[in-house]
Amino acid sequence: MESYDRTQPRTRSRLLVPLILLVIGGALIWLVSAWAEDELDVHRVTAEQPGAPALILLHGYGAPGNDLVGLGEVLSESLPGVQVLVPEAPFRLVGSGRAWYVESPGEAVESRKLVGQLIDELVAAGTPRGKVAVVGFSQGATMAVDLGLFHPDVGCTGALSGRPLDGIGWRPRLAQGVSVDVFVAHGRKDRTIAFSDAVALADMLESAGASVTFAEFGGAHEIPPAIEDQVGEFLATCLK
């Protein structure tokens, strides 16, 4: 006859609950990572201007796809004749949030290809090679640098509160040398991405031959008006 042990259900429940949470967490991660778009939805801040220089703005992790439209409107005022586009990241998160990558470096490579296709379309429509700028914030800043490293038609990039990313081929690419112009800005009080990450990013790019403009400010994880002005000045030189 089997005896009834009052401790058995409690012991099993203690083991079962973490196991269930682990399975659910893994399923959610898989679902989010797999929930990607095959092509980018693009918000056009300015009217389509075939043949004109182009500025592409990449939003941060978890932001809605139109998050940098306001920045695009500000920058467009100081960039007459430049078309401004804001693509939505391909990985959809809970709610309206988007991401360029969620769990694996391979997702960042996938996003690189999708933004690269957008750049290819602009060049095919007449935008001069080298007259494409990619500027991003936070995770989008990392992707902007990535596009500057790997897409030959990108003439300059802007990394606003970004960081380096391992596992997507940066080191061998930097070892070959790069000639892209880069604007790096970061807040000294940023608790989301450390200020030291921006310093490391600037140093590695400069060591590889990039022309780096570094701007620090006293704020946190943000884009203050003074930085918006400096980005505009940088882009006006790059895209003239």
3-state helix, strand, coil in the chain (%, to 5): 40, 20, 40
Q: Which residues of 166-179 are buried (b: 16+ CB within 10 A; e: fewer)?
A: eebbbeeebeeebe
One-letter amino acid at 117 equals: Q
For residue 40, how many C-alpha atoms fall within 13 Å in the half-sphere facing its CB? 28
Return the minimum-mean-pLDDT range out of 30-39, 74-83, 180-189: 30-39
Rounded Cα gap, residues 238 and 65, in angstroms: 25
Residue 103: pLDDT band (50, 70, 90) is: confident
Model confidence at 160: pLDDT above 70: yes
Which pLDDT belongs to residue 35?
56
Residues 109-149: tens digit of each pLDDT: 999 999 999 999 999 999 999 999 999 999 999 999 999 99
In order of their start, the domains of the chain are 1-34 (no CATH), 38-238 (3.40.50.1820)
Rounded Cα gap, residues 162 and 196, in angstroms: 10
Rounded Cα gap, residues 12 and 27, in angstroms: 22
The answer to whether the predicted template modeling score (pTM) of the entire model surpasses 0.75 is: yes
Q: How far is CA 48 from CA 43, 66, 78, 113, in A?
A: 11, 17, 17, 22
Rounded Cα gap, residues 51 and 48, in angstroms: 9
User: Tokens for 159?
Assistant: 């990394």
Which pLDDT belongs to residue 32?
45
Which pLDDT belongs to residue 77?
95
Q: Specify the residue for token string 């930097």.
A: 174
One-letter amino acid at 148 equals: G
Rounded Cα gap, residues 110 and 45, in angstroms: 24
- Mean pLDDT on 31-49: 77
Q: Specify the residue for token string 């996003």.
A: 111
One-letter amino acid at 39 equals: E
